[in-house]
């Protein structure tokens, strides 16, 4: 009597900002039970290594301006592996639902009749805020948070960039378009005194914080490390950051690396 073929499944898993101890328990268990792992370039080896020794591991790339597997190829590969009856983990940096193309992948899997589940992760904005004690909301300062991607097409800035008071604007993938976005916001009335922060490698032990203002966005942009993933936080919450007491652990080591990186307004 033949054994019925096992149905495969795909888990779309958020790997968080990079530190393995910021994975959710559900994410860690999914990786530990995977038979195939498709992981993005920003996912560190220590997280990929949680997969079983015999699991298939495939890097998909997904770094700006670097060679990577196309989204169409990733979609096909997930379906192919799942149809072989494998437990497939699609491992993404941060949270899959925030600029992680999770909608496209869920749609493709559903059309192919493949079961899928999304496991959230810590997004870069939350990691950066926690690591450097930057409150994304603050009573009397910011009562809303906007997450936006800062991509451009053919050198032209996409999006309707409008300044709103009492708002924290968090820009993903903004390293190359920071000056253009700030210029657009200034045209809409954002004061030159509005505070800016750039966090490189958020959530990792080599994270770095740069601070400045809208009026010196060009100097701030020029100070960003060209090879590091960077997150931009715009709003007066940047000024609310204080060094409370004597932080310990990762936070202490990270703050010590930021001394002298302040860019004066």
Return the structure tokens found at 252. 């202490």
Q: Which residue has the tokens 């990786």?
A: 31
193 forms beta bridges with none
Backbone phi and psi for residue 6, each to the nearest 5 degrees, phi listed first: -75, 140
Nearest-Å Rg of the Cα atoms of the chain is 20
Return the structure tokens found at 1. 């009597």
Backbone phi and psi for residue 105, each to the nearest 5 degrees, phi listed first: -70, -40
Closest CA to 169 of 206, 217, 102, 105: 217
Catalytic residues: 40, 62
CA distance 55 to 121: 22
């Amino acid at each position: 009597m033949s054994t019925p073929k096992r149905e495969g499944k795909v888990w779309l898993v958020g790997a968080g900002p990079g530190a393995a101890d910021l994975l959710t328990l559900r994410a860690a268990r999914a990786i530990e039970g995977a038979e195939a792992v498709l992981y993005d370039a920003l996912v560190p080896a220590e997280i990929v290594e949680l997969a079983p020794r015999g699991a298939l591991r495939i890097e998909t790339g997904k770094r700006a301006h670097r060679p990577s597997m196309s989204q169409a190829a990733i979609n096909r590969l997930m379906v192919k592996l799942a149809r072989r009856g494998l437990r497939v983990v699609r491992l993404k940096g941060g949270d899959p639902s925030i600029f992680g193309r999770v909608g496209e992948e869920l749609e493709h899997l559903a059309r192919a009749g493949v079961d899928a589940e999304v496991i959230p992760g810590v997004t870069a904005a939350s990691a950066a805020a926690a690591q450097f004690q930057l409150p994304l909301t603050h009573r009397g300062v910011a009562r809303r948070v906007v997450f936006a991607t800062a991509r451009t097409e053919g050198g032209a800035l996409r999006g309707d960039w409008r300044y709103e008071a009492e708002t924290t604007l968090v820009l993903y993938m903004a390293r190359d378009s920071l000056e253009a976005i700030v210029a657009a916001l200034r045209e809409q009335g954002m004061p030159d005194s509005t505070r800016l922060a750039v966090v490189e490698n958020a959530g990792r032990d080599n994270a770095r914080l740069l601070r400045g203002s809208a009026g010196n966005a060009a100097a701030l942009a020029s100070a960003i490390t060209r090879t590091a993933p960077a997150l931009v936080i715009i709003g007066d919450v940047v000024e609310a950051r204080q060094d409370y007491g004597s932080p310990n652990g990762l936070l202490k080591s990270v703050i010590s690396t930021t001394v002298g990186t302040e860019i004066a307004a």
